[in-house]
Structure 1
Amino acid sequence: MNDPVREPDASARIPPPLVRCWTDAVKQAAEKARAMQPAADSNGDPKRHRRRWFNRWGQATETYLRSPEFLQVLKQHIDTLIATKRDGHSNRSAADINNSSLPEDVRALAANFRRLLPQGTKTQRTAIAAESDRNVPPHPKGPPDKAPKWATSFDVVHEEPQMRLLHFSPSRIQYAQPVLVCFALVNRPYILDLKENRSVVRRLLDRGLDVYVIDWAAPGDADASLRLDDYIGSILDNTVNVVCEQSNASQLSLLGYCMGGTMTAMYTALHPERIKNLILMATPIDFDGHNGLLNLWARRETFDVDGLIDAFGNCPGEFLQFVFQLMKPVQNFAEKQLSYLENAGDAAFLDDFETIERWSNDTIPVAGETFRDFVSMLYQQNRLVNDQMVLAGESIHLASITCPILLLVAQRDHLVPPESTLAIQNHVASQDITTLSIPAGHIGLAVGSRAQQKLWPKATDWIANHSTER
């Protein structure tokens, strides 16, 4: 069945002064990294040398992104963005955004990254320069111009204005409890079924599990008033009922990814009798740590979430995408580009690369009041682990969770530090908690080769072993 195209949201332009300040900092970090980097051994591995160089460059850049200086710059320009929108000076259209998905200074940095590479990789730079002069496929930018295709066929078994429920059925259902997947509200869930050989959905189906996935709709202006309790206490609760009715089951296994995992943990605390197993992928639970940049940037003294939502209504997808890219500038605007050029002759690599790029740029807005709730209650007040979370007048106690829990953790996750997920172990009553961890990033936990070959066979075995055979 075809997946409907979702229109990109129009948002105000990111202030150019912020981009210039950030770009200058990245360049300064490159100089610091170059000074730390010894000359490459002429007989050594140039890729290994380059990897070390990028690591040092990335570390130097992150140091700046954590500094009080940058936090002040970030605050000033977010406040400017809010004021510009509030005062009615922003009239940028969706077409403008599509034609310029990255600010000019950032595109210039990405285009000229070769001159920032250390002298020790001169031979490599020459080869890359020659490669870039060839007929290399254009780098994918922006959301796809046609509806994304899931790798696996599905049926839409339920629809509401804010979501649709996709059913992926195995050739033979072997377990009584279905698996319901709740994705984050920011990106699209087809990252879980991107390609046949990079599909979490396929791994679940191969194990005989009956799979349902919530596909959240992009909120419009009329949805700006939706609260977090609307998504959890109403929409998610109704979806659980639909899945149980469809599969003739009294319980199900609930799998949440990132923000979706936080939502499923709260739902499980409210309705422990409905959940057979809880599986959390790269899920933020404790928001008080200092390791994650988002935890630092989202603090009250830096991020005026009330001002943003009061001005915009919904949180623009363009704003979120820029923040995500800003967190790892070296990887996003230099290392990734170099890798693309190096592998220009590898059709399989290019196909994987472009597919993931299009997904990562396919962000959707988040309903305004839901975003306000999530940032204020969790990132800024850390209510969930402080046992102070209340939705629609009902207290949420993680200690109410008693079911078996599987924690899937990416050791190099820059969005959700592993300790943020692992913290749930200190707050639940569950006696059966298993952790599976791999050296991967936030998205690699789903689509990476190591995840598909090593982690997901163990994860699906765990779910099967904790389910009832039919």
Structure 2
Amino acid sequence: MSSVKKIRVLRGSPEEVGEQLQENLERMLESTRRWAEILTFDPEPETGLTPKNIVWRKNKAKLYRYVNGEIKYRTPVLFIYALINKAYILDLTPGMSLIEHLVKEGFDVYLLDWGEFQWEDRDLRYDDFICDYIARAVRKVCQISGTESLSMAGYCMGGTMTTMYAALYSRPEVKNIVYIAAPIDFENAGLSSIWLKPPGFDPDKVADTYKLVPKEFIDTGVKMLKPVNNFWGTYTRLWKNIEEGVSIRSWKALNKWVNDNVHFPGAAYRQWIKEFYQENKLVKNEFRIKGQRVELKNIKSSLLVLAGENDHIVLPHQTKAILELSSSQDKEFHLFPVGHGGLVFGSVARNQVYPTIANWLAARS
């Protein structure tokens, strides 16, 4: 669709101004009608379109390997995403996809997609996700790629889980880690710390009541951290896109993802709220996976840490903490003028974040 023309400044006699005003109004009404038709009748845009193959499965989880004509960099890259929402935000639409960008740059890219948790998954803990899913996926990636090391990239909670894995497992070698808005230090998590502070908020009661915490419960809680922006801003951004001539497909794809949530296994939810947000065990070296202490000093990988200065879900200092807590010598921190999603979607992501990640990995792969 062509860009919407800007309204012209009105000049001239009252009659001429009236004619110009009428013309502008007609143009706006026509544009509004056309966009309304697209919003109402067009199907939801397809997402996750970068060609891929399923190379391993466990339960609902799938390990994807993305098809690439030529692999320039031998070290494979494994993406780990959070347990809520869907992983296709990393491969949203053609031209707006971090995975697509890395594949085109010649990287051997994998993604662990958790799938949609159901009632039988209610007792899954981080012990299971780290040892039975991520650890096995890592071995499979290295086996297929024929390497003894890999790079890992974690977005949001996926970065937290990547940290747990890297602190516990020395082989295969985690050569590089890319952190994308990943919470590590939960001491001051902004409004989340206030809302989830004990004894006012009881995660045991939530987990015991629901067993499998409904996606609607999680979605509402996250959106209420910034209700005006999340409930009304969605549509103000739409009208801004209309004015600027931005593709409606991009807006619809992002809106689809924002509302495409998954249930949260109650056992993992209990750990996430109590042991991370309320007790901050990870940075205190008190968090345990199957009885083994997770010590962040064990991490010696090269680190690329990315944060959004407007992120209200994961504050920049929460991610930056890994720079001091690990034993890594090769480490970089980049702060971008975006929110949580802006690190993987939008013009800043496409023009700044994607190249930053690609260039950093290329120099270490």
Among 158, 178, 185, which residue is 1:279 paired with? 178
Contact 2:44 2:252 in 1 (8 A): no
Among 409, 413, 416, which residue is 2:314 paired with? 416
Partner Cα separation in structure 2 for residue 138 and residue 258 of structure 1: 35
2:191 maps to 1:289: no
Quote the residue 2:222 is aligned against: 324
- In structure 2, the CA distance between the partners of 1:149 and 1:133, relative to structure 1 (3 Å rule), is closer
Partner Cα separation in structure 2 for residue 289 and residue 345 of structure 1: 38
Which protein is richer in helix relative to its size? 1
Partner Cα separation in structure 1 for residue 323 and residue 337 of structure 2: 21
Trace 1:115-130 onto structure 2 (pairs within 5 A). Answer: none
Trace 1:194-273 onto structure 2 (pairs within 5 A). Answer: 194-273=92-171
3-state SS of 1:195 partner: coil
Unaligned residue ranges in structure 1 (runs of 5+): 1-44, 46-122
Q: Which amino acid counterpart does residue 306 of structure 1 have in structure 2?
A: D
- In structure 2, the CA distance between the partners of 1:158 and 1:437, relative to structure 1 (3 Å rule), is same
2:342 maps to 1:444: yes
Contact 1:200 1:456 in 2 (8 A): yes
- In structure 2, the CA distance between the partners of 1:342 and 1:439, relative to structure 1 (3 Å rule), is closer
Contact 1:207 1:461 in 2 (8 A): no
Partner Cα separation in structure 2 for residue 224 and residue 139 of structure 1: 39
Trace 1:288-367 onto structure 2 (pairs within 5 A). Answer: 288-290=187-189, 292-344=190-242, 348-367=246-265
Partner Cα separation in structure 1 for residue 54 and residue 164 of structure 2: 26
Contact 2:45 2:249 in 1 (8 A): no
2:186 maps to 1:186: no
3-state SS of 1:198 partner: coil
How far does residue 342 in structure 1 lie from its aligned partner after superposition?
5.0
Trace 1:59-74 onto structure 2 (pairs within 5 A). Answer: none
Contact 1:131 1:342 in 2 (8 A): no
Alignment RMSD (CA, Å): 2.5
Among 51, 72, 80, which residue is 1:174 paired with? 72
- In structure 2, the CA distance between the partners of 1:145 and 1:263, relative to structure 1 (3 Å rule), is farther
3-state SS of 1:276 partner: strand
**Per-residue CA shift, 1:287-322, capped at 9, x if unaligned?**
0115x2222222222321111111111111111111
Residue correspondences, number: 339
Partner Cα separation in structure 1 for residue 37 and residue 297 of structure 2: 51
Partner Cα separation in structure 2 for residue 349 and residue 230 of structure 1: 41
Q: Which amino acid counterpart does residue 144 of structure 2 have in structure 1?
A: Q
Unaligned residue ranges in structure 2 (runs of 5+): 1-8, 10-20
What TM-score do the two structures reach when normalised by structure 2? 0.87
What TM-score do the two structures reach when normalised by structure 1? 0.68
